[in-house]
Chains A and B, each alone.
Chain A
Amino acid sequence: MEHTSSYEPKSSFAKWWDDRLPVARLMHGQFVDFPTPRNLNYLWTFGGILTFCLAAQIVTGIVLAMHYQPSAHEAFNSVEAIRRDVNYGWMIRNFHAVGASMFFIAVYIHIFRGLYYGSYKAPREVLWIIGVIIFLVMMATAFMGYALPWGQMSFWGVTVITNLFSSLNEIIPGVGTAVVEWLWGGYSVSGTTLNRFFSLHYLLPFVLAGLVILHIWALHVAGQNNPTGLDIKTKADAVPMYPYAVAKDAVGMFAFLLLFAWFVFFLPDYLGHADNYIEANPLVTPPHIVPEWYFLPFYAILRAIPSKLGGVTAMFAAIAVLVFVPWLDTSRVRSAKYRPLYKWFFWLLVISCLGLGYLGAKPPEGAYVIWSRIFTVYYFVHFLLVMPIIGLIETPKPLPKSISASVLPSGGGGAPHGAAAAPETR
Chain B
Amino acid sequence: MRLMKNASLATLAFMIGAALASSGQAADGGHAHIERQTWSFGGFTGQYDQAQLQRGFQIYKDSCAFCHGLKRVRFRNLAEPGGPQFPEDAVKALAQSWPNKVTDGPDDQGKMFEREPKPFDPILGPYKNDNEARASQNGALPPDLSLIAKARNVEYTGTWWAHPFSMLRDIATSYQEGGPDYIYALLTGYEEPPADFTLAEGMQYNKAFPGHQIAMPPPIAKDSFIKYQDGSGSMEQNARDIAAFLAWAGDPSLNTRKATGWLVMLYLLVTTLLLYAGKRVIWSKIPH
Q: In the complex the two chains form, what is the Cα distance from A243 to B151 in whole Å?
A: 48
Q: Is the CB of A244 within 8 A of B283?
A: yes
Q: Is the CB of A258 within 8 A of B279?
A: no
For window 183-232 of B, CB contacts with A under 8 Å fall at 210
Contacts of A409 in B (CB 8 A): 287
Q: Is the CB of B286 within 8 A of A423?
A: yes
Q: Is the CB of B288 within 8 A of A39?
A: yes
- Contact status of A277 and B150, CB under 8 A, knowing A39-B288, A90-B257: yes
- Give the contacting residue for A239; candidates B179, B257, B276, B286; CB below 8 A: B286
The reply on B272 being an interface residue by CB < 8 A is yes
Q: Is the CB of A266 within 8 A of B258?
A: yes
Instruction: Name the distance in Å between A219's Cβ and chain B's nearest Cβ.
Output: 21
The reply on A420 being an interface residue by CB < 8 A is yes
**Residue interface mask B237-266, A partner, CB < 8 A = 1:** 000000000000010110011101110110
Q: How large is the interface on B (under 10, 10 to 19, 20 to 34, 35 or more residues)?
A: 35 or more
Using a Cβ cutoff of 8 Å, how many contacts connect chains A and B? 109
The reply on B152 being an interface residue by CB < 8 A is yes
Q: Is the CB of B269 within 8 A of A247?
A: no
The reply on A343 being an interface residue by CB < 8 A is no
- Contact status of A247 and B271, CB under 8 A, knowing A266-B174, A269-B150, A274-B153: no
**Residue interface mask B265-288, A partner, CB < 8 A = 1:** 100110110011011001101111
Q: In the complex the two chains form, what is the Cα distance from A403 to B84 in whole Å?
A: 63
Q: Is the CB of A257 within 8 A of B253?
A: no
Q: In the complex the two chains form, what is the Cα distance from A83 to B251 in whole Å?
A: 8
Q: Is the CB of B151 within 8 A of A277?
A: yes
Contacts of B253 in A (CB 8 A): 83-84, 90
Q: Is the CB of A270 within 8 A of B176?
A: yes
Contacts of A267 in B (CB 8 A): 171, 174, 176
The reply on B170 being an interface residue by CB < 8 A is yes
Q: Is the CB of A420 within 8 A of B286?
A: yes
The B interface is mostly helix, strand or loop, or mixed, namely helix
The reply on A250 being an interface residue by CB < 8 A is yes
The A interface is mostly helix, strand or loop, or mixed, namely helix
Q: What residue of chain B has the Cβ atom nearest to residue A38's Cβ?
A: B288
Q: Is the CB of A421 within 8 A of B210?
A: no
Contacts of A251 in B (CB 8 A): 272, 275-276, 279
- Contact status of A257 and B286, CB under 8 A, knowing A247-B275, A265-B260, A277-B150: no
Contacts of B210 in A (CB 8 A): 287
**Residue interface mask A82-93, B partner, CB < 8 A = 1:** 011000001100
The reply on A21 being an interface residue by CB < 8 A is no
Seen from chain B, the residues whose Cβ lies within 8 Å of a Cβ on chain A are 44, 72, 77, 146-147, 150-153, 160, 163, 170-171, 174, 176, 178-179, 210, 250, 252-253, 256-258, 260-262, 264-265, 268-269, 271-272, 275-276, 278-279, 282-283, 285-288
Seen from chain A, the residues whose Cβ lies within 8 Å of a Cβ on chain B are 38-39, 80, 83-84, 90-91, 94, 239, 243-244, 247-248, 250-251, 254-255, 257-258, 261-262, 264-270, 274-275, 277-278, 287, 358, 407-409, 417, 420-421, 423
Known: A267-B171, A274-B150. 19 other contacts (CB 8 A): A39-B288, A83-B253, A84-B77, A94-B257, A239-B286, A247-B275, A248-B283, A254-B268, A254-B275, A255-B272, A262-B261, A262-B265, A274-B178, A277-B250, A358-B163, A407-B288, A408-B288, A409-B287, A421-B286
